[in-house]
Structure 1
C-alpha cells in the first residue's frame, strides 16, 4: 500500500524484475470505444483529462492495447506523452486480435503478425519502445518456440523491455511451458500475468496464483470491480428484476446479478461503512492486500470516478476485514 500520503500513488516491485510499477495501474480500454448507439464512451479530450488526473495522483503505469479504440487509444496516449518525460512512465500494450478482415495472418502471435504489430504500436505511441508487451490471449495455432523466439527478438532489438501474458486460469500451464522453454534455450521469459480477478471472479486462486508466486511473476488483474458490480450501483431487488437488468447482457446478469454475489456485496458494504470508504474503494483495497497481487488495473469514465478509485491505495484494511471479504463468497479457494 501507499506510504507516500493520501493522494500520491506509491510504487511496488514488478514481480522478480528490477522494474517498479505504480500500485494502481491505469487501464485505457474505454478510450475510443463506441457504444451500441455509435457514441464514444471516452473521446480524446476526456482521455487526456483522465491521463492528467492519473499522473497528478502520482500514477506512472498506463495500460493499453493496439485494438482499443481501433488504435486511437495508443495515438492519444502517445500525443499526451509527447509533452512529458517518456522515461518517467511505464507503458504496456497488447497484441492478438485480428486487425485486417480476410487476413488470417493478422490475428494471433505468429512471427509475421507480431513483427508487424509492434511497429504499428510504436508508431501510434510515438515512442521507440514499450515497457511491457502482452500477448492479449494465448494463440494455440502458433508453436511456443516460434512465439518465444519472436518475442525475444523484440527485446533484443530494444523495442520491448518485458513480456507479459493477458490470460485466464486454464492457460497458466502454457505460460509455465513457455517459460521453461525460455530458460532451456536462453530466451526471454514472461515476467507478468494479467488475469481477471476480483471479489466475485476468484478462479485464479489456488494453482494460478501459486504458479505466479513460484515463478516470481507480477500479477496485474483486470476487471477489479467485476464490470461495475462491485461499485454499489446495483441493489438486490433492482439488480435482479428492475430496469438495470434490461440494460445488461444475459451473460453479465448470470455472472454477476446473483444472490450469492449480493450476499458478498452486503459484507463489502459493511466493511466500507467501517472504514469510511465506497464499496469500489474497498474492493480495490482488498486486491491490493492479496498475497500474490502486484497492482490492479483501474479504469474510469470520468475524472471523479478515477480519483475515487485511486484513493483506494490509501485504505488500510485490517486482517479481519480482509478475511471477512475473502470468505464472503464460498468457493474451492475461498479460504486462501
Structure 2
C-alpha cells in the first residue's frame, strides 16, 4: 500500500480508502470489523463513514473496530443530511454541525475526527456560518481537517475564497462521484482541485458495481444497480458508451491478469489529482477483490486506452478556451 498527502496538507493517507456505508446493513458487524482489520494489516489507514449510514450504526462499528488503534487511522465522517425529525435536524448550520459532531464522536468512541466533511451543499445556510463553525471545531481540537462532498465547482471555490480571506481553515479535500463511467467532474472541478491543491477521494469508483464485470446487458433484479432511479440506477449506467468502457476494462483485466474491479480502481489511483478512491464491499470476497487494486502499476498504454474511451466529449466553453490556450 502506498501513501499520498491529502490536498494541501501533511496528512498521509493510503492509496485506497475503505468505505463503510454497508456496515451494519448488508455487511454484518463481524465481517465489517474483519474488513477494517484486514485493511489495516495491508497498510490501509483511511476509513470513511457518515452520520447517516445505517442511522449511525456504521460509525458505531467503525469505533469498535479501531478501539485501541485510533492513532493508526485517518478517520473521516460526514454531516449534512437529516438525523432528527425537527427543523434543525439537517443542514450545515452551526446548530446541526455542533449537534452532529458530538453525536459522531460518541458513536466513534473518539475525542477527535481527522476529516470532517460536508456531505452536500446547503443552500439554506450562509457560507460564513458553516465555515466559522468548522474553524471553531478545528481550533477546539475536535476536528483536525475539513472537507466537502458533492459540491459544484463554484461552491467549492467560493468556500475556499471565503476561508482564505478570513484566515479560516480551508477544505483540503472533496468527495465526488467519479469513475470510468462517471467523469462529469472533468468539466470544471478537476482543474479547480489541481489548481487549488484540493485532494479528491471519489465515491462509487466502480460505478455502483457496473465496472466489476458481474453484469451483462440485462437489467439486474437485485443490488444497487437494480434501483429504478438515482445515480446507481440501471438506466443511468447501461448506456452504449458505458458498455464499451466495460469491454475495454475486461480486455485490460485479461491482459494484466487482474479482475475488472482491480483495473477500474487502479485507473483511478493513477489518475492525476486523485488521492484515494473510496471502495466499499458487502462481502469479504468483494473486499479481497478490491484490495487487489493496491500495490502495482498499470502500464501507460493500457491506462491511456481506458482514459481515452471514457473521456467526456469536448464541450463549450472548454473546447473554445482550449483552442486559444497559450503555450507556456
TM-score by length of 1: 0.89
Distance 1:52 1:263 in 2: 37
What does residue range 209-288 of structure 1 map to in structure 2 within 5 Å? 209-236=190-217, 238-239=218-219, 248-251=226-229, 252-288=233-269
Distance 1:333 1:129 in 2: 44
Q: For 1:25-72, what per-residue CA distance to the aligned partner results, in whole angstroms no more than 9, with x for missing partners?
A: 000001123xxxxxxx11211211111221121111110001111111
Q: For residue 100 of structure 1, what is the aligned residue in structure 2?
A: 84
Structure 1: which 5+ residue stretches go unaligned? Answer: 1-8, 34-40
Distance 2:291 2:305 in 1: 23
Measure how far apart 1:311 and its partner are: 1.1
Structure 2: which 5+ residue stretches go unaligned? Answer: 323-328
Q: Does 1:15 align with 2:14?
A: no
What does residue range 37-76 of structure 1 map to in structure 2 within 5 Å? 41-76=26-61
Q: Does 1:302 align with 2:288?
A: no
Measure how far apart 1:324 and its partner are: 0.6
Measure how far apart 1:332 and its partner are: 2.6
Number of equivalenced pairs: 314
Distance 2:77 2:3 in 1: 20
Q: Does 1:32 align with 2:24?
A: yes
Measure how far apart 1:247 and its partner are: 7.5
Measure how far apart 1:315 and its partner are: 3.2
Measure how far apart 1:304 and its partner are: 2.2
Aligned mate of 1:125, from 99, 108, 114: 108
- Check whether the contact 2:78–2:118 (CA below 8 A) recurs between aligned residues: yes
Distance 2:240 2:63 in 1: 44
Measure how far apart 1:328 and its partner are: 1.5
Q: For 1:60-117, what per-residue CA distance to the aligned partner results, in whole angstroms no more than 9, with x for missing partners?
A: 11100011111111111111121x321111100000111112x111100000111111
Aligned mate of 2:96, from 109, 113, 133: 113
TM-score by length of 2: 0.91
